[in-house]
Amino acid sequence: MSIKYKLFFWFFFSLIFVVAYFYLAIHFYSLPYGNVFFFILLIILAVCGYIVIRKITNSLTLFSRKIKEVNSLNLKERVKGFENNDEIGELAFSFNDLLDRLHQSFQRERQFIGDVAHELKTPLSIQRSNIEVTLSRRRETQEYRRVLNEMLIDNERMSKMLNNILDLAWSKSDVIAHFEIFDLSELMEEIVDLATKMASYKKIKIIGEIGKNIKMHGKRDKLFHAIVNIVDNAIKYTKDGGTVSITLHKTDQRIHLEIKDNGIGIAKDDLPHIFERFYRGSKNDKTSGSGLGLAIAAAIISSHRGKIDIESSLKHGTTVSISFVLIKSS
């Protein structure tokens, strides 16, 4: 029984008993010592009320003490002993659920920090080795130029990764207040033109079917980055002479964007992990990249209240479906 009902029944029955006794014992039957018994009744009801309230406050005190024992080092701990179906039991359940989500979030962030450190460790180690070897003896100018060029490549890779991490951080922040209305159709036309240039060296055909005058509420540059990441993947994993189609249209309620290729596809075991940070799949043909592209794209789309889904099968290609809420024209 919930706390409010316990208190209600105590108050209701106390009132009934007092009224009934006052009416029957004093006015109707005119019992001797009626006033004395009346005060005894009040004391009994007060004691019962005190017991009910004491049980409630004891539960709250115990709950508060257990909360104070929880910190970032023992997020696996749970508040126990509150299995009653009352407000305190519901509060304990909600608090334990919050701990579960915090624990998962801390685990993801620790994993993320570890992944970033691992990804940066290799280029930094290579740079250090190149510098130490280069400084070990006097060399020709050409050799110094070669080492500096290699260091520049590693530096660009690390800079790109840090920019990707900043994009991930942006996507997790509350940025809706900074959104603005822009023409998504115009943006997609730019992406189709860019994709045509990106795919030219592999002779991949880009097919664009872009609906006109489709408006979007969000950050144009961030959404551009997200969609280009997906298109880049489609081109990257499509063999020479293949096809990538980019379609944009709207219905009564939503905007629908589809990016489809006839490339190598994604293994069934990899599909559940495809949006995880630094996940590169189990492909034998390793392709360069930080493993952050799809994670960033999914995070940015989610920050725009959008949905993203991927359907794929090996050797038959991949289809990425994205949808957003449609802005109604005034």
pLDDT tens column, 122-138: 677 777 887 888 888 88
60 contact partners, CB below 8 Å, separation of at least 6: 88
Same domain, 93 and 34: yes
Same domain, 167 and 188: no
What's the distance, CA 64 to chain centroid?
A: 29
Q: Is 281 within the bounds of a domain? A: yes
Res 215 pLDDT > 50: yes
Res 245 pLDDT > 70: yes
- How many Å from the N-terminal Cα to the C-terminal Cα in the chain? 51
Same domain, 19 and 68: yes
Give the total number of structural domains in the chain. 3
Query: What Rg value do the Cα atoms of the chain yield, rounded?
Result: 33
Same domain, 145 and 272: no
Q: Is 259 within the bounds of a domain? A: yes
> Is-contact 83 89, C-beta < 8 A?
yes
Q: Is 88 within the bounds of a domain? A: yes
Res 192 pLDDT > 90: yes
Q: Final residue of a domain: which of 45, 71, 99?
A: 99
75 contact partners, CB below 8 Å, separation of at least 6: 99, 102, 103, 106
Average pLDDT over residues 91-111: 77
What's the distance, CA 35 to chain centroid?
A: 66
pTM above 0.85, yes or no: no
CATH of the domain at 249: 3.30.565.10
Same domain, 184 and 117: no
> Is-contact 313 238, C-beta < 8 A?
no
Q: Final residue of a domain: which of 72, 99, 126?
A: 99
Average pLDDT over residues 151-157: 78
Same domain, 308 and 188: yes
CA separation for the pair 71, 110 (Å, rounded):
16
318 contact partners, CB below 8 Å, separation of at least 6: 234, 237, 260, 261, 263, 265, 266, 310, 311, 312
- At 144 the pLDDT is 83
Q: Is 107 within the bounds of a domain? A: no
Domain around 76: 3-99
Same domain, 78 and 129: no
Same domain, 73 and 163: no
CA separation for the pair 122, 136 (Å, rounded):
21
Same domain, 195 and 301: yes
Res 257 pLDDT > 90: yes
Same domain, 166 and 298: no
Q: Is 311 within the bounds of a domain? A: yes
Q: Is 250 within the bounds of a domain? A: yes
Q: Final residue of a domain: which of 36, 65, 99?
A: 99
CA separation for the pair 323, 151 (Å, rounded):
41
Tens of pLDDT, residue by residue over 44-82, are 777 777 777 777 777 777 777 777 777 767 777 777 766
Q: Is 313 within the bounds of a domain? A: yes
> Is-contact 245 260, C-beta < 8 A?
yes
Same domain, 156 and 51: no
Q: Is 19 within the bounds of a domain? A: yes
Same domain, 158 and 278: no
